Structure formats: C-alpha cells, structure tokens
Chains A and B, each alone.
Chain A
Amino acid sequence: MVTRGFNLGVDFAGGSKATVRFKSDPSEDRIRVALEKVGIAGDKITLQRSGQRIGQGAPRHEMIVTVPDIPKDKIIEALEKHYPQAAPPAGLTNLNNGGAREIAIILLEKDPLSFRTNLPPGDAEKEYNRFAESVIRYRTSAPAGLITELNQIPVDGFDAKFREALPKFFYAGEFSLIGFENVGPQVGQDLQRRAVLVTLVSCLGMLVFIAFRFEWIYGVAAIVATLHDVIVTLGMFSLFQWEISLTFIAAILTLIGYSMNDTIVIFDRIRETLKVRRREDLVKVTNDALNQTLSRTIIASGLTFLSVVALLLFGGEVLKSFSLVLVIGILIGTYSSIAVASPIMIWWKRREEGQRQQQETEKKALKKKGAGESNAVKVESKTTAKSAPAR
C-alpha cells in the first residue's frame, strides 16, 4: 500500500470520467488519438472497456474514458471531430448526444413541418417537445443502447413527414455519451478526508457500545479485527491497482458492519459460556465458543459470500468494485473474527492475570513474559480454529 499507492478514481483524485457507448466495437488507439488531438496528454488518458455482462441480450460497446479535469464538451468534440476519422456532416446535430430540450429547440428553429405558422402559438413548441422526448425514449431503450439509423426512430403518433425531415438536420453519430462525472480536486480530497473521518468516528461509536455491553478489551479486539479486514482489503486494491470509487466507501462500510457482526456473535457466546463456567480456562472457553458458533459462521458467511458472488457476476460495471470488496472482505472477515479478535482478547486477559499474580516481580521480566505468552496463545488459537471439526 505504501509503495504502490492506490488507483484513486475520479471521485477522490478529481478529474473527468465519461462513459461512452459506441455503435460498433471501439478502437482504443483511435479514441486515444482523438483525445490527444484536443490537447489531452496521452499518458493521462485511461480507457477501460465495459458493457459486457451476463444476462443481457445484445452486447453493448462501452468505454469508460478517464481524463484530467476537462469539461464534457471537449470530450464530445474530440470524439465527434476526430474519432471515426471522417468528419461529421456539416451543420447537422448528433441525435445520440444532447437532451430532448436541445433537439426540440433545433426543430422549433428549423420548423420542418411549419407548425409555427399553422398551429396556435405555444402548440408548435409542445409538439416538437413531445417528439424530441420520444426520440430520447427510443435512444434509451434501443437494443444497442443508442440510435444506429435515423429511420429506426419510431414516428408513430407524429406526422410521417418527420422521417423525411430528420436527416436534414440530424445524424446518428458513432457514439453516445451516457454518463459523465467531473470532480474538482478540492472536492475529491475533502471527500476522502471525510470518508476516513466518519468511518473512524463510527468505529469509536461501536467501541463504546461494545465496551458498555461487554468489557472494553472486547471492544478494542473487535475494532482491531475489523480494521484488520479493512486494511487487508485496501491492500488487495492497492496490489492489483483496482480503482477506488465512491461505491468503494459504501462497500467498506458494509464490510465493517459484516465483520463486526461476526465478531460479536462469537464474543456473545464467550460471555455466555463464561457465566456458566466461571472457573474454567479462558482459552478453553473461547475455543469451545468458537466451535459452537462455527456452523453458524460457516452457513451465514457462506450464504452471504455466495450472494455477493452473484452480485459480482450479474451486477455489471457499476457494482463491480462494490462486490469485489465484499467478496474479499467476507473471506477475510470470517477468518479475522476467529483468528484475530479472540486471540487479542485472550492475550490481554492473560496479561492482566499475569500482572495480578506477579505484581512484585520486576517490570522487565513481566514484559518479556507477556510478550512470549501472547505469541504462544496466538499460534495455539489459530491452529485450533483451523483444525476445529466442522459439524
């Protein structure tokens, strides 16, 4: 994490991100060249294919274009003028970009059906608006996700002359910009800082509550185990340089909730067992508690894990980073509640006990012993957790 850093998405690093849908399979090189022609440095352009997902009929050709902070118009300009090397028909408007209002204004200005002279005032605008909206509706629901041919636009309910009039003012461009994000660098930093801060505050809230319900060391152990999961997941994202976006935060929060839930279930069992078997060794009690809750842990984690895998498979591009966090997080989270949280708690309890017993001995010796013991306990409980028989 320290050496590789993170692949921060536009949300945090600032910049522009456009999701562009193409008529046919786009060429990355040509997109790059087109963008460079409007003055964007080549090494600052990131292209990522998307749009291929399970459970969808026709394949869609989408590309996510990430560039430094530049306005939407410039991306459209680059693709319009330079992408399929042939220049767009002069004076015509691309129907695959822009909103209904824009189309309506052009129609109203050109007035192909002479509504302005034949209809009462106001009605011409209404009619053209209605038609423009139906064009947008078609664009949204078309199988390719954009208009491929002008003559495919349905003109039912409108004058058939529309069909003849359309090619005079419009053309169906090669691409359609279906999503755009532009985040200033200041906003990104602010978001980053606040996300970390709010996560820490909420962890503190949990710590206090667990301390109140159990003992404070249980709270500390649970938080450490949870942070352990977060750090490992962050590490994975750093290692593979997966992009960190705003949904990533939601995913991390989900992971924290999930991991905490797992840990508390086990702690609850330990507390319950301790009430009945007060005299027994803490390690034994903990081990029993782990074993008793193991079937629950496996079933619940397994079920959640599989539904998250479903999310990864069917969720598409938007949910990808989200489901990826949870797939990793649930694996790590299950492991950590067993092998991180409980050992920390035991180590502390042992230390406390040791202190009580050897109050007179020198501090130096005590420290050495505490440290040695803690290692031993950790190893022991890890092996027990792993070798524990499943029911």
Chain B
Amino acid sequence: MRKNLLQRAVLILSVTGICLYLTLIGYRRPTMKDFTSWSQVKTNLANNLKLGLDLKGGSQLLMQVRAEEVIAQVTTNNIEAAKTRLQKKGITVANASSSRPGQISVTISDAARAQEAETELRLDLDKQEWASSISGSTVTFTLNESAAEAIREQSVTQAMTIIENRINAFGVAEQSLQRYGRQNSYQILLQLPGVDDPERVKKTLVLESKLELRPTDSPFQTYPSLEEAQKAAAGKKDSEGNEFEPLPYDERGDDETEEAATPATPDPSKPAVYVLIAKKNVITGGDIRDALAIPADTSGKDYKINFRLKQAGAEKFKTWTGANIGKNLAIVLNNRVKSAPSIRSEISDSGEITGNFTKTSGEDLALVLRSGALPARVDYIEERTVGPSLGADSIRSGVLASVAGLIFIMIFMGIYYQFSGLNAIVSLVLNLIMLIAVLAMFGATLTLPGIAGIILTIGMAVDSNVLIFERIREELKLGKAVVSAVETGFAKAFITIIDTHVTTIVSSTFLFIFGTGPIRGFAITLIIGLLANLFTATFVSRTMFGYVLTRKERVTSLSI
C-alpha cells in the first residue's frame, strides 16, 4: 500500500508540476525572472492563456459572401462566350438568355443546326458540370448542383484569400479569418484582437475594385445630364462595332477623397457630368500586377496610383494604344470614370490613376487593386466591438466574482468537513490549475461562456467532494471502521460521479460538435474541467486520504 501511495503521489506531483509550468512559463526554457518578478508572472500568464475578444477587447466581423452572384456572373459570361462562338461558326443566334442563374438557353435561327450548335458550345461548357438538352431550335444548358456548389465554395475561399491579403496590409497582430456557420451559409468570421475601431478595415475589406480601362467616344466630350448622354449613345458604334454607354465622370479637380472610401455613392449636391464609354473594355483590374500610391506633386497632399500590368494585359494594352493614338482611354473604377487621358504614344505595361487621393485613400485603393477584386459582393451581417476598457472590466469582475465564490466555498468546506475539507480544497485548486493548463496547452481561447463552463466545473467538483464525504460519514454512522468506511464511501460515490460526469460530458460533446462559437467555448472548457475533476476528485483525494490513514497503525477516528 505504501509503495503504491508513493507512486500515486509522484504521479500527482508531476502532473501538477507540468500543469503549473505550462501555465506560468509555456513551451520554453525558464529564466530567473519568471520566478522572481510578479509582473513577469502576470505577462507569462497573459501570453499563455489566450483570451477571447469579449474579454481582451477587439473587433469581430461576420461577413456574408453573396455566392449566388458568382453563379449569375458565370452564366452571363457563358452566354456572351456562346454568342461569339456560334457567330464564328456562322450559326445565327436568334436569342441567348437565362431564365435563372445556372441556366443558359440559346435559340438559333436554323433548327437543323441545333445539334451542331450543341457540340460547338460543349467546347466551353464541361460535360461534368453542365447538362444539355435540345428542343427544336433551342439548346439549353443547366449547371448541376454539385458544380454550382463547387463554384460558390470557391468564391468563398477566394474572398477569404483576398480579404486576408488586405488585412495583412494593416499590420493587425494575430487576426483570425475563418469559415463560419453551416456548410452552405457562405459566411466568413474575421476577428481582430486589439482593434477597437474597425471602420477603416471594414471599408477597405468590402471595397469593390472593379477597374477597367475602356475606350471613350471620339472626339471625347462630356454631357451635362444622363438623358443627353443616353440620346447621344443611342445607335452609336465605334470602328470595331462596340456599343457605348453613359457613365458618370468625376472631373479632375473635384474633391474625391470621400469617393475612394465609399464607392458608388455619388454626391447628390454636385451635378453629375456624363461621358460615353465603350461597353467593351481593353483590360481589367485582373490584368494588374502591381499598384502603388505615390505623391502626385511636391506638396505631399495629393496622391496618385501607379500601376503595372501583367504580361497578357500588357500585350493587349500595347496593341490597343498603338492603334488608337490621339484617342482617349477612360479609367473606370466601379462604374465611375476616374479620368480619361488621351493616348499620346504606344504604352505597354504601366499607367496611373489620378484624382485627388489622400495618402490614406490612395494607399487603400492601391491595396485593393493589388489584391484583386472580390469574386462576389460581401455584406457585413454582424459586428461586435469590445473596447479594451470594457474587456478589462469583464475580466476584473469575472475574476473578483470567481475568487469571492471560491473563498466562500473553501471556508465552508474547511469548517464543515475539517481536515477532509482541506482535502477538497486541494483537489479543487488542482482541478482549476489543470483546466487552465490544458487550455493553455491547446491554445484554446477563454471567453465569457468559457467562464460559465468553469463555474459549472467548480460546482460539480464541489459536489463530487460532498458526495464522497457524505457517503463516508454515512458509512461511519453505520459503525464501519474508518479505513473500510473511506474505501466504501469512495467506491460507492465513484459510480455516481462517473454517471453525472459522463452524462454532462456526453451532452457537452454534442454542444461542441453542433454548436457555434460561444456554445463551443462553453462546451470545451466544461469537458476539460470535468475530465480534470474525475482525476482530482477520485484519484487525488483518495491518495490524500490514503496518506493520512496509513500514517498510523490503527485509525480510530477521521476528521470529516
């Protein structure tokens, strides 16, 4: 028995040691300072135990990717491609349209060539993804659900990559970006610890960056109203047969600092000026390799954006500028014309966007151009900001309340169960140390619901001890000897403890699997706490009793 006890004690002490080490020092070699300076101990604890945003302070943004828009985009693109392809083959298209995203109907004039048209269109539309049917002169392609789902999923992944790139530019430490919610909810959760004013981040993240370089009408002129511009655009075609559309023109000299930050919200106080822009673009934002905001003049107030093009874009750009010297090329950002410089010579791979940018708005736009456009619109559906002082308050009151509760429990246990109460206190404290150590070990974050889990853990840990002690008291009352009373008490209470703990662990596991953020935080702390308690309440407490009982040859009384 004695040897056995020694082994148990060594095990308990080493577990305690490891737990304390992990909590107070972490995965590194300790220095002298770790033990001597109280502030160092505090810092270590703060470093090892990750706190959630609700405790530490920071911002959390939940974004919804409009994945359905991507399907619509894919459909439109394919309709355009289909028209071109059939025209090249000499098949006349009477009508090409889509009744819903993911469906393309092409009606050709000559019903006899429907089969030929189908074969031709198959070159663009993969058999695995698009099912086709021919009825009369109409060929219909339908995107199957699994392919559509793959496209939506990909749009979310793509959006995440782009958002991540944009965030990185802000230099936020330890931001986390993750998929959120159910499989088909297309939500992204962004957490920014320490950021208590996410406005600028927010604006930049969903800033659309649809940049196109498109030809203007020639000679280039402005129209004072939309109606006049529309009138002029009607029926007008350029040498390549492209139609024109009127777009608002932000003339140079206007104050556009706000414009860059909040796109697509024209200032109603200023009368809009319209220009005619070809519907077909020369190059798009996707052709941009690099973009940089640089001062436009020596004053340092005005910024412009220099961009360089990728290989393919540069070639297209070179061909077009070479053929159109003297004409104007419009730089269209989010369907607003930013500037329309005239082409003086053949340009191959670079250009600039001017328009009274400030340093901040210029840098933000350059960043957006560099990282590419989002595949679909992204909406903010939830925002939570906890200021650092509010978080500090929560920690302070949480700790104060827990310590007050704990002290109360300890005093009661000490008085009511005397020596055995001390035993219970030791197991309780060890339980908490183990809980925190395991959280630190796995890098799990402690949130407010997590504190709820800790409170339930404390409640059940105290309950386990009370169960055992009351059972021992009962056995003693029945007149059993101390040693056997302790043994029976533990044995009988053990079954109950297992039942209660496993029941709660089972339900917590379900909570963890199916729950969302806060519920999972609760579940994981509770599971760890209860597992630790199974160890402390039965094994540790039992060993301590064992030590007391084996010290004397014959035990006649027990302080309980």
Partner of A264, one of B195, B200, B456, B503: B503
A314 at interface, CB cutoff 8 A: yes
Partner of B382, one of A182, A195, A272, A292: A182
A88 at interface, CB cutoff 8 A: no
Residues of B within 8 A of A203 (CB): 507
Residues of B within 8 A of A98 (CB): 197
Asked if residues A190 and B389 are in contact (CB atoms below 8 Å), the reply is no
Considering the complex, which residues of chain B in the window 394-433 have a beta carbon less than 8 Å from any beta carbon of chain A?
394, 396-398, 400-402, 404-406, 408-409, 412, 416
Residues of A within 8 A of B515 (CB): 194, 198
**What separation, in Å, do the CA atoms of A105 and B364 have in the docked complex?**
13
**What separation, in Å, do the CA atoms of A201 and B383 have in the docked complex?**
28
A307 at interface, CB cutoff 8 A: yes
B384 at interface, CB cutoff 8 A: yes
Residues of B within 8 A of A179 (CB): 385-387, 390
B452 at interface, CB cutoff 8 A: yes
Q: A246-B518, A296-B467 given; name 15 further pairs at CB < 8 Å.
A: A53-B397, A98-B197, A99-B196, A101-B200, A176-B387, A198-B511, A206-B503, A247-B449, A247-B518, A261-B503, A292-B474, A303-B459, A313-B401, A316-B394, A316-B397
B519 at interface, CB cutoff 8 A: yes
Interface residues of chain B: helix, strand, loop or mixed (majority): helix
Stretch at the interface among A250-258, A280-288, A338-346, A380-388: A250-258
B502 at interface, CB cutoff 8 A: yes
Partner of B511, one of A202, A296, A319: A202
A158 at interface, CB cutoff 8 A: no
CB contact under 8 A between A247 and B448, given known A304-B462, A314-B404? yes
B294 at interface, CB cutoff 8 A: no
A19 at interface, CB cutoff 8 A: yes
Considering the complex, which residues of chain B in the window 501-522 have a beta carbon less than 8 Å from any beta carbon of chain A?
502-504, 506-511, 514-516, 518-519, 522
Partner of B526, one of A184, A257, A316, A326: A257
CB contact under 8 A between A300 and B199, given known A268-B499, A316-B394? no
Asked if residues A205 and B405 are in contact (CB atoms below 8 Å), the reply is no
Partner of B519, one of A53, A198, A295, A299: A198
Considering the complex, which residues of chain B in the window 375-394 have a beta carbon less than 8 Å from any beta carbon of chain A?
380-390, 392-394
CB contact under 8 A between A314 and B397, given known A191-B516, A254-B455, A257-B456? yes
Number of interface residues of A (CB under 8 A): 84
Considering the complex, which residues of chain B in the window 462-514 have a beta carbon less than 8 Å from any beta carbon of chain A?
462-463, 466-467, 470, 474, 492, 495-496, 499-500, 502-504, 506-511, 514
Asked if residues A55 and B504 are in contact (CB atoms below 8 Å), the reply is no
Residues of B within 8 A of A141 (CB): 389
A164 at interface, CB cutoff 8 A: no
B159 at interface, CB cutoff 8 A: no
CB contact under 8 A between A181 and B404, given known A203-B507, A296-B466? no
How many CB-defined contacts (below 8 Å) exist between A and B?
Answer: 230
B293 at interface, CB cutoff 8 A: no
**What separation, in Å, do the CA atoms of A40 and B451 have in the docked complex?**
36
* Chain A residues at the B interface, C-beta cutoff of 8 Å: 19, 21, 53, 55-56, 72-73, 97-99, 101-102, 105, 109, 136, 139-141, 145, 176-184, 186-187, 190-191, 194-195, 197-198, 201-206, 209-210, 213, 246-247, 249-251, 253-254, 256-258, 260-261, 264-265, 268-269, 272, 292-293, 295-296, 299-300, 303-304, 306-308, 310-311, 313-316, 318-319, 322-323, 326
Residues of A within 8 A of B514 (CB): 194, 197-198, 201-202
Asked if residues A101 and B462 are in contact (CB atoms below 8 Å), the reply is no
Q: With both chains docked as a complex, state the minimum distance between the C-beta of B512 and any C-beta of chain A, in angstroms.
A: 9
Asked if residues A181 and B383 are in contact (CB atoms below 8 Å), the reply is yes
Partner of A253, one of B181, B459, B467, B522: B522
Asked if residues A254 and B452 are in contact (CB atoms below 8 Å), the reply is yes
B460 at interface, CB cutoff 8 A: yes
Q: With both chains docked as a complex, state the minimum distance between the C-beta of B183 and any C-beta of chain A, in angstroms.
A: 14
**What separation, in Å, do the CA atoms of A180 and B53 have in the docked complex?**
12
Report 15 cross-chain contacts, Cβ distance below 8 Å, ordered by A residue.
A19-B390, A21-B389, A102-B197, A102-B200, A141-B389, A182-B380, A182-B384, A198-B510, A205-B509, A209-B506, A246-B518, A249-B519, A260-B504, A264-B499, A265-B500
**What separation, in Å, do the CA atoms of A292 and B492 have in the docked complex?**
13
**What separation, in Å, do the CA atoms of A139 and B380 have in the docked complex?**
29
Asked if residues A253 and B452 are in contact (CB atoms below 8 Å), the reply is yes
Asked if residues A145 and B389 are in contact (CB atoms below 8 Å), the reply is yes
Residues of B within 8 A of A140 (CB): 387-389, 392
- 10 A-B pairs closest in CB distance: A307-B405, A316-B397, A99-B197, A178-B387, A250-B449, A184-B381, A202-B507, A202-B510, A314-B401, A250-B452
Partner of A250, one of B381, B392, B406, B522: B522
B360 at interface, CB cutoff 8 A: yes
Q: With both chains docked as a complex, state the minimum distance between the C-beta of A124 and any C-beta of chain B, in angstroms.
A: 12
Asked if residues A260 and B381 are in contact (CB atoms below 8 Å), the reply is no
B261 at interface, CB cutoff 8 A: no
Give B195's nearest chain A residue, CB to CB: A99
Residues of A within 8 A of B386 (CB): 179
Q: With both chains docked as a complex, state the minimum distance between the C-beta of B166 and any C-beta of chain A, in angstroms.
A: 15
Partner of A315, one of B383, B401, B460, B503: B401
Asked if residues B381 and A186 are in contact (CB atoms below 8 Å), the reply is yes
Asked if residues A322 and B452 are in contact (CB atoms below 8 Å), the reply is yes
Asked if residues B500 and A264 are in contact (CB atoms below 8 Å), the reply is yes
